[in-house]
Amino acid sequence: MDLNLCLKVLDAEQIRQADQFTIKNEPIHSIDLMERASEEFVKWYVAEFSVDSPVVIFCGTGNNGGDGLVICRLLNEAGYMVSLFCVGNPDTGSRDFKINYDFIQNYDIPQTVIDSSNFPDLSKGTIIIDAMFGSGLSRPITGVIADLIHHLNEQPCAYRVAVDIASGLGCNERFGEGAIMKATHTVSFQVPKLSLLLPDNEAQSGQLVIRSIGLIEEYIQSLSSSFYYSTEGFIKSFIRSRGKFSHKGTAGKNLLVAGSLGKMGAAVLASRACLRSGAGLLTTHVPGCGINVLQSSVPEAMVIVDENDKLISNMRTLSDFDVIGVGPGIGTDKVTASALSQILDQFDRPMVIDADALNILSENKKWIEKIPKGSVLTPHPGEFKRMVGDWSDDYERLDKQVRFCAEHELILLLKGANSSICNSEGTVIFNSTGNPGMATGGSGDVLTGIIAALLGQGYTGFESALLGAYLHGLAGDLFARQNAEESLIASDLVEFLPKAVRKVSQG
């Protein structure tokens, strides 16, 4: 596993250092690097938005504003209807800002210097480009500029596109009560910023696009970070192919413990996903009511029938299995909790623990110590909160995730957009695949099955969680390329898994 194949998440000072190193050692003038970044933004913008939509660009007087000035010029040259608003005194701007500000005076572009008396009212079809403040911001935005941001957030414009990061949003923190632009899209340069990957900031980040601006990669690799953003190249770096003489016994003997009366769909989804992800042998332990459901829906799976007709209540010997996945649809009844305790007492190899099994652990926190080291837990935020307590914001939530993994020597995949996957060493990798259509019942059951299959094939817990999250999200993305996101159901993820596996398996 080569973490340098991920995109490293850097803080504002590290980004500044990478800029300066590139300027000195490429070498390239800072104003030319600004031009390069702006060209990358405009390439994306032209592919995304019609020339018929008027563009209003708001520029600060720092280097982020300089980017906005170049973007303004390039969009004007591309035939877009562009207007420019300068926020602050142009005469006090940065050197590169002033050069570009003087240059743009040669263009026939409507220009206004903003003060409290001339906030523009914008039409519904207008697209705002926010280039007021970049990732170097270190304080909350107040005063007239804050009033402007509040005004722009209330405009009926369909899109607000942030250059690098929304104005007012810190690179890796939020600044109290300061104003923040609500972005529908953020085009971030070279590396993602931590703030752009956290749910709390969804309204201020929108759809994330990352464009390389050619900063020297060797220097970026030398910088220290615990946070990364997955890439297809990274995933391909540790995916394995089967040997010629592999057989079902070498591809993992998996046990899924899933289902209860009225929730047998969870067991079916997890089982089908497990098999589609390469499991050699799958046995699913279900309550008595599930035997006909499983054997008709998933004929490839063997079935263990619990003595209880409605619930999982008792476990047989577990020594024959390489991996256990437990939780989908099992409920939290006392007899089921007792069965989970039996599993934890008997099984000493990595497991996947999800859904109701996590809720049972939340009521029996001492049992967490019995979970085999290197196991994968896959809570959504509500389940994680029941395990570790509340948090004030997503930065504290992330800190709790890191401390939980270190304390218990476990892998924790916190589900959601840009799911964060953390190992016991404190390395956090944010998943880069997936879409809002995956917010649907049963999606987590599919993920459990995928990760269980990967563990059974010999991947480590961290590898299984990373690859599982990536494939899970990629299956959703492949569906969305052909269909409406809103139409996605969990079974579609299973259907598109083979295409996802094929995509990351190809050289």
Could you read off the pLDDT of 342-354 as tens digits, one per residue?
A: 999 999 999 999 9
Residue 463, CA distances (Å) to 71, 252, 406, 490 in order: 40, 15, 17, 23
Q: How far apart are CA 183 and CA 153, in angstroms?
A: 9
Q: Would you say residue 22 has pLDDT above 80?
A: yes
**pLDDT for the residue numbered 507:** 60
Render pLDDT for 36-46 as a digit per residue (tens, 0 to 9): 999 999 999 99
- Smallest CA-to-CA distance from 330 within 297, 290, 295 is with 290
Share of the chain above pLDDT 90, in %: 95
Mean pLDDT of 224-243: 94
Share of the chain above pLDDT 70, in %: 100
CATH of domain 235-505: 3.40.1190.20
Mean pLDDT of 148-173: 96
Mean pLDDT of 233-241: 93
Mean pLDDT of 389-412: 97
Beta bridge partners of 324: 255, 351
Q: How far apart are CA 175 and CA 172, in angstroms?
A: 10
Q: Residue 172: how many CB atoms within 10 A of its CB?
A: 18
Which CATH number, 3.40.50.10260, 2.40.50.140, 3.40.50.720, 3.20.20.70, labels domain 10-222?
Answer: 3.40.50.10260
Render pLDDT for 393-403 as a digit per residue (tens, 0 to 9): 999 999 999 99
CB 113 within 8 A of CB 40: no
Residue with tokens 């300068």: 86
CB 193 within 8 A of CB 217: no
pTM: 0.96
Buried residues in 199-218 as b, exposed as e (16+ CB within 10 A): eebeebbbebbbbebebbee
Q: How far apart are CA 118 and CA 111, in angstroms?
A: 12
The enclosing H or E element of 257 equals strand 253-257
**pLDDT for the residue numbered 109:** 97
**pLDDT for the residue numbered 244:** 76
Q: Which of 25-29, 244-248, 418-422 has the lowest mean pLDDT?
A: 244-248
Render pLDDT for 472-481 as a digit per residue (tens, 0 to 9): 999 999 999 9
Residue 476's contacts (CB-CB under 8 Å, 6 or more residues apart) are: 433, 434, 435, 437, 438, 443, 488, 492, 493, 496
Q: Where along the chain do its domains lie?
A: 10-222, 235-505
Q: How far apart are CA 30 and CA 154, in angstroms?
A: 35
Q: How far apart are CA 331 and CA 303, in angstroms?
A: 19
Residue 120 structure tokens: 């523009």
Residue 116: pLDDT band by 50, 70, 90 thresholds? very high
Residue 200: pLDDT band by 50, 70, 90 thresholds? very high
Residue with tokens 């623990």: 353
Q: How far apart are CA 171 and CA 190, in angstroms?
A: 14
Residue 265's contacts (CB-CB under 8 Å, 6 or more residues apart) are: 329, 442, 445
Mean pLDDT of 333-337: 98
